[in-house]
Structure 1
């Protein structure tokens, strides 16, 4: 498409009630009135995804009363938002919301009867959050004098594999999205797409993983050759550290695709770790903006990094609730088939490794995983590797990472990191650096991670600059 086109993604806090939805719609409307075509991609209302997961688990355990109470509370919340946005009791919006809640109730009752919650059923249930948000955004845009049409992710053209809970788009997705949305845009209708979700080739609803609305937006952006993809948030953009931990954390003006992927992977709650992958081939920029300050530029994510001399690191981030799995056996780990069996056992459990470190003597390999994955990782290793290997678990760990393309070929970066941690009396449990030189990560005791973050942030002068 030759004219300016923006894909605007709104997170849960931007959809949390009628006031937030109305404001979000006004941001899209402002661009539309400037002659820009806009596709809106919405998240569930803040807290609704967790609520849906909770009620699904309650139904599986036989507590249908609690599940129905949660559904009733959600119904009230969505009806209230619709009414405050101007929907009459007999309107299409209210009817749609009522019908979707009834379908949700039936799906949850099916889980209760079977006492079984399959990944496919979980996806069906949890996707209702976004499906219920989309009619509210459509209503708000119409109340602002615009024409809009809402669609589920599947209706918009996102077709995925059958990996329920963490689905990936199939190659045909992009052409399908273009076919389904281009006509609406050409007719002056703003598509409102329920994010986080797609459907299999047979029509079963899938979800794209936590934060998947970001992924939905960038998939659509690539399909439509968007000018930019905008992610509206409740903070200025990507920060140099968690502002709840570091008081002088500042906005990072520009990041490369690679840098933002590293930050997302290492715990910064900026976007879905795979969200930039659809944009990389086409070079479409992603801009993360603050809905409370829409004129602020936010953070621009683009193909090429923008490095400053003397500032090799852009940000410091941390993953909490980590465990280290230590696998040891003198000489045994040096045998190729033995080390292969370690990683094969983990792969079969579909566990994500946060860090890997191996001793030069080949007598020990340390694996950092989320604590929620630790027990099954431990069990998989004990069942799947040589009896000569000793497998142990260490809990209460966090992974801290520094990220920045300026570290490539730069001497002394690791020394500054280690010196800062030593000065803060923080012990390092593991060290890892990728060949891309975009990050250096260390595992530390969880109780020291905030102190470590502040020390490292200060050591690399990442705080707000003060002008006289």
Structure 2
């Protein structure tokens, strides 16, 4: 296929040092050299986002020395990469990196003085990773003889609501992006956009949630009417299971938007769960490609399901470190507003529910949440419900899910799943199946999740290639 415009997203491992950045720039340059217009969207260097979160927490707790040590180490890493990419000590790139680190130091000192880390402050701090990597990618592209210009997400036109930490684009975003990036592309300049971030209409910096660089890329892809969005990864594409757990996991050639959203939601760390939403609205395909093997087609994500003969299930995935929150008692019995109040309390705290189960008698409601959110969930529910209800946490849980459009109307899929788990001596704590029949998910003990994943992968023969359905 001949392309005219591509959006290319590069993840943290493809931005981790000068060598990786130069290689990533080379991948973009291949397409630009073939006459394709390219918008590059970059993540922070590998590990930097977590480093920024650590130093923010250190400042909040009063350990400014530890925070300053982290900033110094980060400054050295970015200066080294810039130098290795050919930047002179007095170059504009080095000056910009120095200024960004000074601004970061001031933001961290403000947190230290107040001993307060608000969601807005956290977004400002954590976005420095992408703001620092974008100039490095621009430098690498210029080193390959290309004209490039880097922008923050807000400068590129991504305008969001004020939901700091998990912001969503506003309707006017797409027109702004066309205006701001269209001019650069028309002038033969490659835009390099710092992913993961946008800004409110008042100019406050926001982030789109962890993994949000994928989301940035697809928002831009929709705005510009790209032929495809390419997400460059360190794997061959979307796999049938985590290859670190299942040795015979294989690349999936084609997934539907619905399937990839289910996989992302249930723990597959390949894409942001909302990444395909802008593309789904405009029918633009997404391709997950391997930076190590750029000629391999990877995984194509499109609207239509691509069912494989003998493979009703495409993949098995899991979310670890989950807690079940069990609400029991006669007070739940036959009182719909009690259940409504539970969900309302969780929504106010912006807690994501992974699974929900309710007994037919309505005397028990079980909610699966990330263990990191369990404390907030318990507190929110206990503030809401009456004393006659009992609320308990059951930690040490994982949610395992099988995903595939071929499950729709297919008999025996659930039986095969439960049979594989029973044969592996896995105890099922909770079961959920969506009406779309795209997934079946089960809660199991976290200690059993890797063994269970291998058993289910084998039971559905996911390690074996399958023919496409007619």
> Which interval holds the TM-score relative to the shorter structure?
over 0.9
Rounded Cα–Cα distance in structure 2 between residues aligned with 1:311 and 1:466: 7
Q: How far off its partner does 1:334 sit?
A: 2.1
In the other structure, the counterpart of 1:93 is 93
Count of aligned residue pairs for this structure pair: 466
Rounded Cα–Cα distance in structure 2 between residues aligned with 1:423 and 1:394: 24
Q: Which runs of 5+ in 2 are unaligned?
A: none
- Is this contact kept in 1: 2:311–2:466, CA < 8 A? no
In the other structure, the counterpart of 1:59 is 59
In the other structure, the counterpart of 1:315 is 315
In the other structure, the counterpart of 2:442 is 442
After superposition, residues 126-275 of structure 1 pair within 5 angstroms as 126-275=126-275
- C-alpha change, 1:312 and 1:203, in structure 2 (3 Å) is same
Pair 1:344 & 2:352 matched: no
Q: How far off its partner does 1:331 sit?
A: 6.8
In the other structure, the counterpart of 2:354 is 354
Q: How far off its partner does 1:332 sit?
A: 3.0
Rounded Cα–Cα distance in structure 2 between residues aligned with 1:201 and 1:382: 36
Cα deviations by residue, 1:47-98 (Å, 9 ceiling, x for unpaired): 0001111111111111111111111111110010001000111111111111
Rounded Cα–Cα distance in structure 1 between residues aligned with 2:215 and 2:18: 25
Rounded Cα–Cα distance in structure 2 between residues aligned with 1:465 and 1:173: 41
Rounded Cα–Cα distance in structure 2 between residues aligned with 1:332 and 1:264: 33
Q: How far off its partner does 1:310 sit?
A: 2.0
Q: How far off its partner does 1:330 sit?
A: 3.6
Q: Which runs of 5+ in 1 are unaligned?
A: none
Rounded Cα–Cα distance in structure 1 between residues aligned with 2:367 and 2:214: 29
Q: How far off its partner does 1:465 sit?
A: 4.0
Rounded Cα–Cα distance in structure 1 between residues aligned with 2:59 and 2:426: 45
- Is this contact kept in 2: 1:332–1:388, CA < 8 A? no
- Is this contact kept in 2: 1:331–1:361, CA < 8 A? no
Aligned-residue RMSD, C-alpha: 1.3
**What TM-score do you get using the length of structure 2 for normalisation?**
0.97
Q: Which secondary structure does the structure 1 equivalent of 2:441 belong to?
A: strand
Rounded Cα–Cα distance in structure 2 between residues aligned with 1:210 and 1:248: 28
In the other structure, the counterpart of 2:38 is 38
In the other structure, the counterpart of 2:113 is 113
In the other structure, the counterpart of 1:28 is 28
Q: How far off its partner does 1:466 sit?
A: 11
Rounded Cα–Cα distance in structure 2 between residues aligned with 1:351 and 1:198: 22
- Is this contact kept in 1: 2:214–2:275, CA < 8 A? yes
Rounded Cα–Cα distance in structure 2 between residues aligned with 1:266 and 1:301: 17
- Is this contact kept in 2: 1:338–1:386, CA < 8 A? no
Rounded Cα–Cα distance in structure 1 between residues aligned with 2:38 and 2:213: 16
Q: How far off its partner does 1:333 sit?
A: 3.3
Q: How far off its partner does 1:281 sit?
A: 1.3
Rounded Cα–Cα distance in structure 2 between residues aligned with 1:56 and 1:197: 18
In the other structure, the counterpart of 1:75 is 75
Rounded Cα–Cα distance in structure 1 between residues aligned with 2:349 and 2:154: 28
